[in-house]
Structure 1
Amino acid sequence: MGDSRRHEPWVILQPDGWLRRPALGLNSLMQIPDKIQSSLKVQFGRFLNKDGAVRRMSAEISSEKAKQSCSAAASAEVRLDRHLQAWWDNPSWTDEPPEIKVNVPEGSLCNLNLRFKAGLPPDAVYNIIIDPENKRVFKNIKEVISRKVLLDEGSRQVVEVEQAAIWKFLWWSGTFSVHVFVDQNRKKHTVKFRQGRAGFMRKFEGCWTIEPLFVDKELCLPLNPHSLEEYESCTGGRGRVGSAITLDQLIEPALLPPPPISWYLRGITSRTTEMLVNDLIAETARLRTISNNANAKQGTEETGDANIGDPVRECGDIKERWRQRRKSGRHGSSLRLTSRFL
């Protein structure tokens, strides 16, 4: 009887009974690339669709962040102008010398802690400190050698700065180069700095901290405001906002000399830092007593107009006005108090 088992045409039995690997015909060989290509097209198409969706989502998020940033910037400028107006209406304020505490941690030259108050709102003081051209204010800065923005997140920036500083003590004076990384946070009103390249000093770091001071707090009696919003509400926006400022600074030279030389160096450092703070106080006094001139009124009106409409469209105009007002301020015709995003 014949073999009743049925075989497919492409199945071939070897003499030993094992199945021989089927031979693929020309049609099969032609179909493999098509199948692979079809599969790749499907998978690649899904990837492109997914990647496109991710890109669109990322673009939407970036646009929303830019919108929020511009809106916040416009609101901050309006708030600053309102606070300045209160000071122009009532510039009465008595500046006091800073309180200075000097500690000498082991292995360092000194740790300075300075506390003082200023008759200007925190945003205004913050703007003076971070101004790239603040050597006009701080007499111990001879020149800014280089400045580079490493990170820009709107309200926070990380900047690399190298500048030549001047020191004076009794009959002696000189200059030294300082290379620092500065972390500027407008939302928190902090300016942190630390040394980059080692030079004359092994360690040079510190932090400016600016907190609001409710100058006309008595207008809120019997209430006791604990936030800026509460203070503005209970004073009807007429209360002046000052600043409580703290500067912590740690200095460690590359080579710590023995006494009495270390005493002289400590004295130089204390005097230099005190001079820097006094320069800041003098600048706040100058700005506080500036009358509400036409330029200030125009700046406030322009800021009010900037709040009308789409904040994203207005953002570029706001930044340009800030730059122009600071530029004018360097010639004494404006206030130099508005922000600058570089």
Structure 2
Amino acid sequence: MIVMGDPKSCCSNRGEARKPFDLKFPVGFAQIPQRLQNFFKFKNSLKDEREVAPISPKEKELCASSVEAKLEKQLNCWTENPTWVDQPPELKVTVPKDSLCNLHLKLKVGLPPDAIYNIVINPENKRVFKNIKEVISRRVLVDEGPRQLVEVEQAAIWRFLWWSGTISVHVLVDQNREDHTLKFKQLRTGFMEKFEGCWKVEPLFVDEQLCHPFKPKTLDEYNSCTGGKGRVGSILSLEQLVQPAILPPPPLSWYLRGITARTTEMLISDLVAEAARIRGNASAANSSQKSETSENTSNGNTLQAFDVKERWRHRRNARRRNNRELSR
């Protein structure tokens, strides 16, 4: 499954002091709707003690512009050199006690982290991920600029062998562009007792060999040693725990475990295809630009050749006129 956030979330490097996250609840907290209780429990379970001051719309716009400018610069490097060979993901499934499975996945993708992150959190990513049938509801509960808490309910499609069906997924999503993480946790228990996990996107220095013998450790060092020409890819990782309310015995548990793994593989396959489409567009734009440049160069050479011929013709005519004048 994939959970959706907001593509306009952006990083914030403001120098303001961050205060510890301190929630003070009124005496009548027990009367707060169950949904908000789940929300606060989830925030505590994430063990995030930071809170940023509210960000104004103008600051959000400036921050989004900064992210877009950085991403555009990184994509330009892919436009100049879109060569990339996709590798199969590293997928490992373990079976903790009293759980169906714990899924660990790692994959290298030929696009910058912000581009991958935009795909994952986009509310309209149903276009990319075919296992999303529909988004039933989506609500932003907290918007701190770089970090958002979003409540999402969607109908997801599962397929395994010749069987298929849909399942409703209602989760709370904590997405943070500063570290390109997306944590999700189930809000309502039903068929699933636990459904939680975390997506994380880290930078991959594709052209690291340009820095040899120096080995860059940060993006700034990488940009410095490559002169800003090094391509930045992504290392995408996923940790996901699935625990049904009632753990079925084998072979039914094997069957459900296969559905979970297969659904995740579908998500990754769709993500890789979208990344390839974006690189293909970059390659097509680059080819078109080269073709146009080649055509202009060719026209220039033709005009230059035409000018040479004209000069020789004028010289021949001048010699003939001189010869006729001398013969008189």
Same fold (TM > 0.5):
yes
**Displacement of 1:62 after TM fit?**
6.1
CA contact (8 A) 1:204 1:249 kept: yes
Q: Does 1:239 align with 2:218?
A: no
1:274 corresponds, among 252, 258, 265, to 265
- 1:222 Cα deviation after fit: 2.2
> Number of aligned pairs?
234
Identical pairs, percent: 65
Look up the match of 1:83: 74
Q: 1:70, CA displacement in angstroms?
A: 3.9
Given residue 130 of structure 1, which amino acid in structure 2 is its aligned partner? I
1:287 to 278, 289, 301: 278
2:216 to 213, 217, 225: 225
Q: Tell me the distance in 2 between the aligned counterparts of 1:136 and 1:74.
A: 25
User: Shift in Å at residue 218 of structure 1?
Assistant: 1.1
CA RMSD of aligned residues (A): 1.8
Higher Rg: 1
SS of equivalent residue, structure 2 residue 281: coil
Alignment of 1:65-214 (within 5 A): 68-214=59-205
2:196 aligns to what SS in structure 1?
A: strand
Structure 2 CA distance for partners of 1:62 and 1:100, relative to 1, 3 Å: closer
Distance in 2 between residues matched to 1:267 and 1:62, nearest whole Å: 44
**Whole-angstrom CA distance in 1 between matches of 2:231 and 2:142:** 33
SS at match of 1:290: helix
Task: Choose which of 245, 249, 262 in structure 2 pairs with 1:258.
Answer: 249
Task: Deviation per CA, 1:250-293: give whole Å up to 9, x if none.
Answer: 00112211111111111111111111111111111111111374
Contact map agreement 2:54 2:144 (CA 8 A) in 1: no
8 A Cα contact 1:97 1:278, kept in partner: no
Taking the aligned partners of 1:76 and 1:132, their CA distance within structure 2 comes to 18
Whole-Å separation in 2 of the counterparts to 1:139 and 1:200: 23
Alpha-carbon distance in 2 for matches of 1:167, 1:111: 18
For the 8 Å contact 2:135–2:153, the answer to whether it is kept is yes
Secondary structure of the structure 2 residue equivalent to 1:96:
coil
2:149 is matched by which residue type in structure 1? V
* Residues in 1 aligned to 2:177 and 2:60: alpha-carbon distance in whole angstroms: 12
Gaps of 5+ in 2: 1-52, 290-328
Structure 1 gap segments, 5+ residues each: 1-60, 298-342
